[in-house]
Amino acid sequence: MPDTQPQIALQFEQYGFHYRSQAAPTLHDIRLTVRKGEKVLIVGPSGSGKSTLAHSINGLVPHAFKGACTGTYTLCGEDARTMGIFDISKRVGTVLQDPDAQFVGLSAGEDIAFVLENDCVDRPDMKRRVADAAALVDIGGHLHKSPQDLSGGQKQRVSMAGVLIDDVDILLFDEPLANLDPASGKKAIELIDQLHHTTGKAVVIIEHRLEDVLHRQVDRIILIRDGRIAADLPPDEMLASGLLEQAGIREPLYLAALRYAGVPVTPALHPEHVDTLVLDPAGPTAQALREWDAHVPAEVSEPEPMPLLGVDGLRFHYPEDETKKPVLEDVSFTLHRGECVSLVGRNGAGKSTLAKLICGFEQPVSGRLVYDGANLAAASIKQRAERIGYVMQNPNQMISFPMIFDEVALGLRARKVPEAEVKVRVEETLRVCGLYPFRNWPVSALSFGQKKRLTIAAILVLRPQLLILDEPTAGQDFRHYTEIMEFLRDLNRETGLSLLMITHDMHLMLEYTTRALVVSDGRLLADDTPANVLTDDRLIEAANLKRTSLYDLAVRAGLPQPRAFVSHFIRHDRSVRAAAHAQGMKEVRP
């Protein structure tokens, strides 16, 4: 009887890899098969070996990142160890998490055509193939545009077209959602799914945002842990197994709600997506949700805190823009002492520009900023930095000194603070940030999360009252996400530090902030609770957000007040997290 199994696209057998610069191997005994036409999702905590496995698939290991391979790796039936990186690139197309790092052309069309130009394809054929690839990803109307004129989602589509044009066998997506707003991320997953069905190619996705990827069906979820494949299961089985939580992978919020309500999550429940759940409004699962919802303790009202920062009628356009198109138009709001507020909206909405205006990096065309009752118009960047701290997304872009103590001391020394006081304040701040034991270490010895804390410490030592953080959890797994956010929440509670967080992470917005400022096309559309924002379809569409699955779960279960259910979940989840954090527990989910 003939074999009807699809052809194998890639296969690892007892594969391992040991970086030349590392003391121990990063990958051990990897056994993995992906067939043509399959779509698989690879997940795992930071440092688990996901990136090394991805680099092995596309040939960067061992050709660019040197080391020793063991076992076998076959690519479309050929021994990949005998293939050069150029030959592998003809079989595996990689879309990176940062599309800017992949651009080589001066326009989108030139970028897509890059491979064809290298292959000396004649011009008429090149134009046809570029048009065909652009049409596949719906970017044909933007081929003349330069990369800086494209949105994050459009840049990603150009990157996809650039790898599709070579008719590769495998599409590898390395954290494709990392830099996209929620709606653009949703569209990206839909596009990947469309390409999968249209082309029949093998698709491999590596991503932290599990729930977002499961917006469209995958065939298998592969869990990497400590350099080994810990599990390779269909989605329903993986989500019901408890293995993801044990590995520190964030489970979908609707599953957390089911667990809080005491509902056993089994494969028979079909938990892959909130829409696939076996959920009868008259059945036991819905009844359990109703009972849990009714018994969540009522919220304790607190007095409104005192105002700290007032933004009044702010308007701004970049001086070099001859059209004087407003980047911000009549933006007004107030931040209060001790608040934790999220700033959300589509890519290019004006969020980062607003932060620059508050910090004094740019000056408004009109409007005013009032800090603690005083107009900030005359305050210099240095003076503002003593009151308002700004933490960039990538800590490596903020670090100036090789040693930890010197990095934290920089701001004080620049202000001619006596060295004795510098020592006291730096050590005090390092204790608050959990870095005191490392005070004499080099910065290079810190992890990414510890470097985040270091950049925060370098600002906290100046004793500001407001901290602005740009994507504080971008690219971090659930354990590191929880560590940094619980650290920030402790600062907020213990010191009264006000926090304004620019984020695309709707989970962060729900779990850690009490207000959300929604910006779209330079205007403030809403200033409301996260639960209200993420259950308002008008706002969600206008600002490229994504409706929370908690609301969809409540609607499917027939709960009378779905929006109230979301608020109840947030309140309960925060109390569970706070208790777990206080006890030093690693597992923060039920």
Tell me the per-residue pLDDT of 139-159, one tens digit each, with 9 for 90 and over: 888 898 888 778 777 888 888
Q: How far apart are CA 179 and CA 208, in angstroms?
A: 12
Say whether pLDDT at 588 is over 50: no
Summarised one tens digit per residue, pLDDT across range 77-122 is 999 989 999 899 999 998 887 777 778 888 989 989 988 888 888 9
- Report the alpha-carbon angle 533-537-540, nearest 5: 60
What is the 8-class DSSP label of residue 82? Answer: G
Which residues in 317-437 belong to E strands, given as ranges? Answer: 328-336, 340-344, 366-371, 374-375, 388-391
- Rounded to whole angstroms, how far apart are CA atoms 187 and 180? 10
Beta pairing partners, 276:
none
pLDDT at 236 over 70: yes
Q: Flag whether pLDDT at 13 surpasses 50.
A: yes
Confidence of residue 308 (pLDDT cuts 50, 70, 90): very high
Longest dimension (CA), the chain: 85
Instruction: Provide mean pLDDT across the span 266-289.
Output: 96
pLDDT band for position 165 (cuts 50, 70, 90): confident
Rounded to whole angstroms, the Cα distance separating 531 from 520 reads 18
CA separation for the pair 375, 293 (Å, rounded): 46
More confident residue, 559 or 396: 559
Alpha-carbon dihedral sign for residues 467, 517, 96, 487: positive
For the ranges 137-146, 172-181, 316-325, 362-371, the maximum mean pLDDT occurs at 362-371
Contact 405, 433 (CB under 8 A): no
| pTM for this predicted structure | 0.85
**pLDDT number for residue 587:** 47
Residue of 414, 486, 494 lying closest to 453 (CA atoms): 486
Mean pLDDT across 171-186? 85
Q: Which of 7-11, 195-199, 318-322, 572-576 has the least mean pLDDT?
A: 318-322
Q: Is 312 left (phi over 0), alpha (psi -120 to 50) or beta?
A: beta
Question: Model confidence at 4, in pLDDT bands (50, 70, 90)?
Answer: low
Query: Which among 176, 180, 203, 192 has a CA at the least distance from the CA of 97?
Result: 176
Residue 409 has pLDDT above 90, yes or no: yes
d(CA 523, CA 314): 10
- Overall average pLDDT of the 13-23 stretch: 92
Q: Is the pLDDT of residue 487 over 90?
A: no
Q: Calculate mean pLDDT across residues 219-247.
A: 96
CB neighbourhood size of 291 (10 A) = 11
Closest by Cα among 219, 185, 183 to 203: 219
- CA neighbor of 136 nearest in space, from 90, 87, 201: 201
What mean pLDDT do residues 480-496 have? 85
pLDDT of the residue at 584? 63
